[in-house]
Structure 1
Amino acid sequence: MADTQQRPGAEGSPAPMGPADIAGLLAGRIGQRRPTAAGVPQPAVPSAVSPDAPAAAAPAAGDGGVEAVPSLAGLPGALPVEWEVIEHLQSLVSTKLSAEDPDKLLEEADRRALARRLVRNAVADWATAYAQGNTPLTAEQETAVGTAVFDSMYRGGRLQSLLDQDGVEDVMVDGLRAHVEYHDRPRQTIEKVADSHEELITWVNRMARLSGHGERALTQATPMVGFRMPDGSRVTASLLTTRPSVVIRRHRIRQHGIAELVQWGSINPMLERFLTACVHAKMNILVVGDMGAGKTSLLRALGREIPPSERLVTLESDRELYLDEPGPKPGPVTYAFEARQSNGETRGGGAAGEVTISDMFATALRYNATRVIVGEVRSTEIVPMLQAMSAGGSGSMCTLHVRRPHGIISRLVQLCTEAGMQTEAAHHLIASSIDLVVYLTYLDETAIGGQKHRFVSHIYEVHDVVGEGGRPVTTELFAPQGGEIRAVYKNMPSFIDELELTGLMRRQWLTDNPFGAWMGPLATVGRR
């Protein structure tokens, strides 16, 4: 996990290495050979790992070796060399890349293509030197080494092999150990994903620079940092835990639309038509649910239903929606704003350099957008969001973390009062701004042999009036019933005329329900 910005040869950094130096390193560090039955010397490290071979294991700390925990080096596709060799090759290639394009005038794609060529040449020289006195590596192993070198420069470095696994949703690093969460199988724990805590911290800061967030660095002065990796994965890291910790949230799919949500079982065809019509009718939509329920995925899919004739502004603390990128079909003109963290200094009683979602609202509204989407409302930005919805920003959307469906209004009021509003005023603002609340349920059954389920279970209409106790009046449009834990039609929305005007929805579909039922029962292990 070497720092790609480090200049070899500078004071306190390693000097550039040529083939002879690398051969010496291999001979001294990983070229320790053991005799075979035929007396032919072989590398101490396995020369190949079959994709079907079981992972090498190391005893988990404190368990007396009863339960084995695989190490990163023992996973299928493991490198035939130690990571230190990858670091030195990466340093060598970085030096040559800087020499060929010192002012970084090449386009990013061209610069990466040049880097790949330099990596191939460096690995070829290294492999030739390594073969002098060791068993030559196969073409596949040379390719694996070259991929690791490129990954250390432009991707996730030593952790990339974990991120590339099928079905990965989260990688949680605690010191030198990582816990990997999958969407379709139980968690896996991996030992030794870094050689030291300092190496892990260096990896975090290098990833922040690669992402264009040079102001975000994990130091004692700024012991918490968040950013996105070049592939869009969201990273949160901290030094305030017992050991340095990193959580990587993997975005497996970025270009999906609402039709894919039907295929995944998050919504059914009836909800697809209903929600699409709500977007076209410019309903203000709040997407809520617990952590990991798929709120961002649904919001992204709804955003892709906005007509291309409109103008959209997205506001996010860390970019996750990607609605400004080309999607499966033409979309609106989109300006994607992203918040900026402080550089760790304070100035004038505030954090120097920090730009929050609340700070961006005034500028975003001057872009004359027809809609505003906030990736996730967490704090005081709730007030400008609701004000934008109620003051003409029809069709705006955002997400909010709420544990239970019945706690939605209370959570909104809590955030409004934390922003300085009175409870009564908060109730009136909520009633006048939000039209629809979509609640996603997250059911994780991987621990009992099942899989993770994410689906819409409730949809509420919020009326522009307050009722008893001054709270906004809501109607349950879709909710679980009849043994079905997913959303089933219950009540006709008051804005059904507006939905029918879009040409995408008919009220008879709700009452007659010819194709709105879920496609068979939910494949759960344990019925609720």
Structure 2
Amino acid sequence: MADTQQRPGADGSPPPMGPADIAGLLAGRIGQRRPTAAAGSPQPAVPPPVSPGAAVAVASAAVDGGVGAVPSLAGLPGALPVEWEVIEHLQSLVSTKLSAEDPDKLLEEADRRALARRLVRNAVADWATAYAQGNTPLTAEQEAAVGTAVFDSMYRGGRLQSLLDQDGVEDVMVDGLRAHVEYHDRPRQTIEKVADSHEELITWVNRMARLSGHGERALTQATPMVGFRMPDGSRVTASLLTTRPSVVIRRHRIRQHGIAELVQWGSINPMLERFLTACVHAKMNILVVGDMGAGKTSLLRALGREIPPSERLVTLESDRELYLDEPGPKPGPVTFAFEARQSNGETRGGGAAGEVTISDMFATALRFNATRVIVGEVRSTEIVPMLQAMSAGGSGSMCTLHVRRPHGIISRLVQLCTEAGMQTEAAHHLIASSIDLVVYLTYLDETAVGGQKHRFVSNIYEVHDVVGEGGRPVTTELFAPQGGEIRAVYKNMPSFIDELELTGLMRREWLTDNPFGAWMGPLATVGRR
């Protein structure tokens, strides 16, 4: 992603560069930093060259309190032995050859990528041969790392891919040139330099948007906020409204999991697995709520995979995260996955030109005669068509909602409904007539004190089709923390237990059978709670 000294081509890409040109570039920029041995003397073992950016990062860390306090991207395991501009020029060379061999893009995507891999191997081999003339040859591992970086720059996350490939990564937050990496099971790591300039970071964002098929989404002064998904499914949100250009990448570590995996991860216990699966088959309308990062999408995805294959499903998302239209661990329903579209930055008729919101998609989605509708996340006025779809025959529909505390669920729903123009009383009646079950996920992050991140169901509520005192919907707490256990434990029998038993997946006596409903050992928190 580094800036180059040469003029870009007409399409904005760097000009192609041959192996000899690249070898010369390397000889001038990297070879001069190596100590020169006397004639006839044995060549010393020379480590992979460090880029100027990495040297600055190490120097800065030393000044601020010790070398290595804030590592640079070049200092991570698997660091490249060459400057990133070499990767960009090799990418340009391979892209030119790829376009020549498949100019009309008639190849299937898998075949085109296989062709690209072959061209990358050949280009890197030619370059490495030219580079070795007058320089210490790269090892096979280093040459392979260069090839991987070239392919990643074409089809994956480019310079940031090495961060995304680390085990346990959940979020990568880029603030200007510095990145903060959040992990599932260890404290945050800060990387000093992931780009050479702010312009380079913006270029990366727009290239990722194009690779993801979101050509209408670009980070510019006209559209200073943009969101899209990367080719691997990671969700990207970028902005120019912050002090420095900023990017947040939400990594989806698991896409094909089912509800059984949630038991293994400790998000639910065997009783909740049976109960929630029965609720899906009994066509209960389910609302999954929790704080940011609590695992709402993971649970919703797992519940969606329990929908019988005989049904028809429509999913509505701002950015695809559910992937229920992709093959899963078992056959699923016929699924149509709708995705919102951002505007192109222009305005037309008082609105944003080209923009299609989740609310806009509802009318079309319902004409697909779907038996269920799933909304990835309700954030705004789409709450009204979602609840109306649930109450008007969309039994078994589901969605997620961001709520900080369990007791704030109804208030949050009412707030969104009133923002959409409804009266509070009408909102209460709509909520009562549409939602059957609310599942609350708790997020407990102990990585800062030597622990790990815990995500688990702590509360489940039944919403009755009546309003009580104050006109609010009547709710019953079915599962809640009890007796020192902070995770969900059975508390009250649901009024729809007969419907659950008809599915053949649930029996009412299981709810009161404590051994069956117990969690698999105590929660491994740092401080016993």
Q: CA deviation at 1:512?
A: 2.2
| CA spacing shift, 1:44–1:417, aligned 2, 3 Å | farther
Q: Which residue of 2 is the match for residue 4 of structure 1? A: 4
Q: CA deviation at 1:44?
A: 11
Give distance in 2, aligned partners of 1:12 and 1:170.
Answer: 30
Give distance in 2, aligned partners of 1:195 and 1:301.
Answer: 40
- CA deviations on 1:360-411 (whole Å, 9 max, x unpaired) are 0000000000000000000000000000000000000000000000000000
| CA spacing shift, 1:306–1:11, aligned 2, 3 Å | closer
| 8 Å Cα contact 1:33-1:41 kept in structure 2 | no
| 8 Å Cα contact 1:34-1:44 kept in structure 2 | no
Q: CA deviation at 1:35?
A: 2.7
| 8 Å Cα contact 1:441-1:457 kept in structure 2 | yes
Q: CA deviation at 1:105?
A: 1.3
Q: SS of the counterpart of 1:185?
A: coil
Give distance in 2, aligned partners of 1:492 and 1:13.
Answer: 64
Give distance in 2, aligned partners of 1:112 and 1:243.
Answer: 34
| 8 Å Cα contact 1:283-1:394 kept in structure 2 | yes
- CA deviations on 1:78-100 (whole Å, 9 max, x unpaired) are 01111111011011111111111
- CA deviations on 1:435-474 (whole Å, 9 max, x unpaired) are 0000000000000000000000000000000000000000
| CA spacing shift, 1:297–1:43, aligned 2, 3 Å | farther
| 8 Å Cα contact 2:2-2:197 kept in structure 1 | no
- CA deviations on 1:182-228 (whole Å, 9 max, x unpaired) are 00000000011000000000000000000000000000000000000
Q: CA deviation at 1:63?
A: 3.2
Q: CA deviation at 1:59?
A: 3.2
- CA deviations on 1:322-351 (whole Å, 9 max, x unpaired) are 000000000000000000000000000000
Which stretch has the larger CA shift, 292-301 or 132-141?
A: 132-141
Give distance in 1, aligned partners of 2:358 and 2:42.
Answer: 61
Which stretch has the larger CA shift, 14-23 or 514-523?
A: 14-23
Gaps of 5+ in 1: none
Which stretch has the larger CA shift, 82-91 or 508-517?
A: 508-517
Q: SS of the counterpart of 1:431?
A: helix
| 8 Å Cα contact 1:31-1:44 kept in structure 2 | no
What is the correspondence of 1:454-469 to structure 2 with a 5 Å cutoff?
454-469=455-470
Q: CA deviation at 1:38?
A: 9.0
| 8 Å Cα contact 1:257-1:328 kept in structure 2 | yes
| 8 Å Cα contact 2:2-2:84 kept in structure 1 | no
Q: SS of the counterpart of 2:55?
A: coil
Give distance in 2, aligned partners of 1:41 and 1:136.
Answer: 15
| 8 Å Cα contact 1:286-1:436 kept in structure 2 | yes
| 8 Å Cα contact 2:216-2:342 kept in structure 1 | yes
| 8 Å Cα contact 2:54-2:75 kept in structure 1 | no
Give distance in 2, aligned partners of 1:50 and 1:490.
Answer: 61
Aligned length, in residue pairs: 528
| 8 Å Cα contact 2:287-2:439 kept in structure 1 | yes
- CA deviations on 1:249-288 (whole Å, 9 max, x unpaired) are 0000000000000000000000000000000000000000
| 8 Å Cα contact 2:446-2:452 kept in structure 1 | yes
| 8 Å Cα contact 2:51-2:74 kept in structure 1 | no
Q: CA deviation at 1:49?
A: 11
Q: CA deviation at 1:138?
A: 1.0
| CA spacing shift, 1:6–1:111, aligned 2, 3 Å | farther
Give distance in 2, aligned partners of 1:206 and 1:6.
Answer: 19
| CA spacing shift, 1:235–1:457, aligned 2, 3 Å | same
| 8 Å Cα contact 2:15-2:89 kept in structure 1 | no
| CA spacing shift, 1:158–1:475, aligned 2, 3 Å | same
Q: SS of the counterpart of 1:453?
A: strand
- CA deviations on 1:109-168 (whole Å, 9 max, x unpaired) are 111111111111110010001100111111111110000000000000000000000000
Q: Which residue of 1 is the match for residue 23 of structure 2? A: 23
Give distance in 1, aligned partners of 2:355 and 2:448.
Answer: 41
| 8 Å Cα contact 2:58-2:67 kept in structure 1 | no
| 8 Å Cα contact 1:465-1:473 kept in structure 2 | yes
Q: CA deviation at 1:32?
A: 1.8
Q: SS of the counterpart of 2:116?
A: helix
Which stretch has the larger CA shift, 224-233 or 30-39?
A: 30-39
| CA spacing shift, 1:57–1:348, aligned 2, 3 Å | same
| CA spacing shift, 1:207–1:311, aligned 2, 3 Å | same
Q: Given the two structures, how large is their TM-score scaled by the length of structure 1? A: 0.95
| 8 Å Cα contact 1:2-1:91 kept in structure 2 | no
| CA spacing shift, 1:392–1:13, aligned 2, 3 Å | closer
Q: CA deviation at 1:10?
A: 3.7
Q: Which residue of 2 is the match for residue 263 of structure 1? A: 264
Give distance in 2, aligned partners of 1:43 and 1:355.
Answer: 62
Give distance in 2, aligned partners of 1:55 and 1:226.
Answer: 32
| CA spacing shift, 1:456–1:295, aligned 2, 3 Å | same
Give distance in 2, aligned partners of 1:377 and 1:61.
Answer: 47
| CA spacing shift, 1:242–1:473, aligned 2, 3 Å | same
| 8 Å Cα contact 1:30-1:45 kept in structure 2 | no
| CA spacing shift, 1:304–1:7, aligned 2, 3 Å | farther
Which stretch has the larger CA shift, 262-271 or 18-27?
A: 18-27
| 8 Å Cα contact 1:155-1:231 kept in structure 2 | yes
Q: CA deviation at 1:505?
A: 0.3
| CA spacing shift, 1:41–1:402, aligned 2, 3 Å | farther
Gaps of 5+ in 2: none
Which stretch has the larger CA shift, 2-11 or 405-414?
A: 2-11
Q: Which residue of 1 is the match for residue 527 of structure 2? A: 526
| 8 Å Cα contact 1:221-1:344 kept in structure 2 | yes
What is the correspondence of 1:124-523 to structure 2 with a 5 Å cutoff?
124-523=125-524
Give distance in 1, aligned partners of 2:273 and 2:50.
Answer: 45
| 8 Å Cα contact 1:374-1:397 kept in structure 2 | yes
Q: SS of the counterpart of 1:68?
A: coil
Which stretch has the larger CA shift, 85-94 or 433-442?
A: 85-94
| CA spacing shift, 1:104–1:482, aligned 2, 3 Å | same
Q: Given the two structures, how large is their TM-score scaled by the length of structure 2? A: 0.95
| CA spacing shift, 1:3–1:509, aligned 2, 3 Å | farther
Q: Which residue of 1 is the match for residue 32 of structure 2? A: 32
Q: CA deviation at 1:23?
A: 1.2
Give distance in 2, aligned partners of 1:45 and 1:122.
Answer: 24
